[in-house]
A and B are shown apart, each in its own frame.
Chain A
Amino acid sequence: MSEAVLPSAKPAQPQKPARQLMRFRGRSYVAYVLSPKPPIVEWLAEVDATLARSPNFFAGKPVILDLAATELSSPAIRHLIDNLDQRGIRVLGLEGFDAALLTPDLPPLLSGGRDCAITTSESAAAKTAAAPDKSKAGSLLLESPVRSGQSVVFAEGDVTVLGSVGSGAEIVAGGSIHIYGALRGRAMAGVNGNQNARIFCNKIEAELLAIDGYYQTAEDIDVSLRSRPAQVWLEGNAMKITALS
């Protein structure tokens, strides 16, 4: 390329924030599951007894209600949740209940929960909900081009491709993405909340770029940058693409 462009001197393209306003990702947490057994009145009495021994046992803890052993109607469940609420037990989801009977005033129905150990210390629950460890090393090297229709997912770190990424292919990485070739497909970096992840390529003809959930489609990539070596990074919630001289 003939012109000398200093990435730092040239202002980044107009401060157009990335278009997506709502980001959501999947995350797993550890919750306490209470499984009431009929007769409910007796079960509630047991709960009261536990609370008498340690009044703040459930304070601030996320609780799921497993209703598999009961046969309560929706209003009855609502009544039970209100009862628990009065005792300081906040129910955020239900399990073991027929989805068809779910009414809007009830918490959402959950599935796919796996049993796990809960340590009794207060900090344990807080730790598991904390951001996942970002500093884990781990890097995936692909020595051949990524073909259309192929999807490379590597949440543990960076992905490096010695070749091009074809139109209709996608690379999803927890860290940065380095493409020693043309990027014609989608590149999604920093998927686990890593805002410092970047995308580098020899030739930018991408269909979609995303870093930590903020994305930009091909239409929004500045025309002057097309087919040139480029790097993509996140500044706040704006995606910056500059030429690599």
Chain B
Amino acid sequence: MAKVLVVTSGKGGVGKTTSTAALGAALAQQGEKVCVVDFDVGLRNLDLVMGAERRVVFDLINVVQGVAKLQQALIRDKRLENLWLLPASQTRDKDALTNEGVGRIIAELRSKFDWVICDSPAGIERGATLAMRYADEAVIVTNPEVSSVRDSDRIIGMLDSKTVKAEKGEQVTKHILVTRYDAGRAARGEMLSIDDVLEILATPLLGIIPESEDVLKASNVGSPVTVNNIASAPARAYTDAALRLMGEDIEMVIPTDRRPILQRLFGRRAA
């Protein structure tokens, strides 16, 4: 039975698209059949992060409007054969999405894949509410800072009221994914600690992704961070998070960059 997962946050720029791509690729690397769906109509980014921007022919809006079939719009990843992308439109905006259209597409994706991961846009309006509407589970991406935490709290409230599951009296299973975590800054009190974040949000923790230059490097070359450099700290953290989504019990650690011994001795990073 397929699982529909929404990656949402409320706040913009915290790492939803990065996490959608990284988690999607990590699940695919474990052998699952995954489709990532970009719901950010008009400001699409998932296609860039997945490296598929030159192969987009049809998109989510085309399928909603019946102009194209789902199979025509899906783009297969070149590196992982069971990872697919359904891109958003860049020329339209969120008003073109309809409840029934999205419902139909999600139902069809459920029959074809093990995981359907919906990359939500920022905000709490139509695009975000439609991305979460048909979800079974939610990953709430949060930076350890006050604005992001408050916005995540808002989004958690909406997951409990604006989804089909909530309307039926059931619960969307929620997980917090803390991104851009810097242990040093947290220790100095410049950033919220993980405990602070969890105390405010009162929701289980899925993973902690450390701040890292590898994330930007990966998106610049159009590759999810778990594919581009699987040994890097964020990639290892995303892999752990994906395994936890699959039900495995992995100890929560914050991976650090492994620097070669010479660099550690001389304390300087080579250019």
A167 touches B (CB below 8 Å): yes
Q: Are B202 and A168 in contact (CB under 8 A)?
A: no
In chain A, positions 123-175 with a C-beta closer than 8 Å to chain B are: 144-145, 147-150, 163-164, 166-169
In the complex the two chains form, what is the Cα distance from A184 to B201 in whole Å?
A: 12
A164 touches which of B124, B154, B158, B202 (Cβ 8 Å) = B202
Q: Are A167 and B150 in contact (CB under 8 A)?
A: yes
Minimal beta-carbon separation of A103 from chain B (angstroms): 44
Q: In the complex, which residues of chain A have a beta carbon less than 8 angstroms from the beta carbon of B160? A: 144, 147
- Summed over the interface, the residue pairs from A and B with CB atoms below 8 Å come to a total of 35
In the complex the two chains form, what is the Cα distance from A145 to B199 in whole Å?
A: 11
| Binary B-proximity of A89-108 (CB < 8 A = 1, otherwise 0) | 00000000000000000000
Interface size class of B (residues with CB under 8 A): 10 to 19
In chain A, positions 180-216 with a C-beta closer than 8 Å to chain B are: 182, 184
B157 touches A (CB below 8 Å): yes
Q: Are A148 and B202 in contact (CB under 8 A)?
A: no
In the complex the two chains form, what is the Cα distance from A148 to B202 in whole Å?
A: 12
Q: Are B153 and A167 in contact (CB under 8 A)?
A: yes
| Binary A-proximity of B94-134 (CB < 8 A = 1, otherwise 0) | 00000000000000000000000000000010000000000
In chain A, positions 43-78 with a C-beta closer than 8 Å to chain B are: none
In chain B, positions 130-155 with a C-beta closer than 8 Å to chain A are: 150-151, 153-154
B216 touches A (CB below 8 Å): no
Q: In the complex, which residues of chain A have a beta carbon less than 8 angstroms from the beta carbon of B200? A: 164, 166, 182, 184
Q: In the complex, which residues of chain B have a beta carbon less than 8 angstroms from the beta carbon of A166? A: 150, 153-154, 157, 200
Q: In the complex, which residues of chain A have a beta carbon less than 8 angstroms from the beta carbon of B157? A: 147-150, 166, 169
B156 touches A (CB below 8 Å): yes
Q: In the complex, which residues of chain B have a beta carbon less than 8 angstroms from the beta carbon of A169? A: 157
In the complex the two chains form, what is the Cα distance from A150 to B199 in whole Å?
A: 18
Nearest A residue to B124, CB-CB: A149
Nearest B residue to A168, CB-CB: B150
Nearest B residue to A205, CB-CB: B200
In the complex the two chains form, what is the Cα distance from A184 to B154 in whole Å?
A: 13
Q: In the complex, which residues of chain A have a beta carbon less than 8 angstroms from the beta carbon of B154? A: 147-149, 166, 168
In the complex the two chains form, what is the Cα distance from A147 to B162 in whole Å?
A: 14
Minimal beta-carbon separation of A179 from chain B (angstroms): 13
In the complex the two chains form, what is the Cα distance from A184 to B199 in whole Å?
A: 12
Minimal beta-carbon separation of B82 from chain A (angstroms): 36
Q: In the complex, which residues of chain A have a beta carbon less than 8 angstroms from the beta carbon of B153? A: 147-149, 166-168
In chain B, positions 179-203 with a C-beta closer than 8 Å to chain A are: 199-200, 202
Q: Are A163 and B202 in contact (CB under 8 A)?
A: yes
Minimal beta-carbon separation of A208 from chain B (angstroms): 16
Nearest A residue to B156, CB-CB: A147
Minimal beta-carbon separation of A133 from chain B (angstroms): 32
In the complex the two chains form, what is the Cα distance from A154 to B160 in whole Å?
A: 20
Q: In the complex, which residues of chain A have a beta carbon less than 8 angstroms from the beta carbon of B151? A: 148
Q: In the complex, which residues of chain B have a beta carbon less than 8 angstroms from the beta carbon of A149? A: 124, 153-154, 157-158
Nearest B residue to A146, CB-CB: B157
Minimal beta-carbon separation of B182 from chain A (angstroms): 23
Q: In the complex, which residues of chain B have a beta carbon less than 8 angstroms from the beta carbon of A163? A: 202
Most buried by A among B150, B153, B160: B153
Minimal beta-carbon separation of B139 from chain A (angstroms): 17
In chain B, positions 181-235 with a C-beta closer than 8 Å to chain A are: 199-200, 202
Most buried by A among B124, B154, B160: B154
Q: In the complex, which residues of chain B have a beta carbon less than 8 angstroms from the beta carbon of A168? A: 150, 153-154
A-B contact pairs, 25 of them (CB 8 A): A144-B160, A145-B202, A147-B153, A147-B154, A147-B156, A147-B157, A148-B153, A148-B157, A149-B124, A149-B153, A149-B154, A149-B157, A149-B158, A150-B157, A163-B202, A164-B200, A166-B153, A166-B157, A166-B200, A167-B153, A168-B150, A168-B153, A168-B154, A169-B157, A184-B200
B residues within 8 Å of A by Cβ? 124, 150-151, 153-154, 156-158, 160, 199-200, 202
User: Considering the complex of A and B, which 6 residue pairs feature the smallest CB-CB distances, nearest first?
Assistant: A147-B157, A148-B153, A148-B154, A166-B153, A149-B154, A150-B157
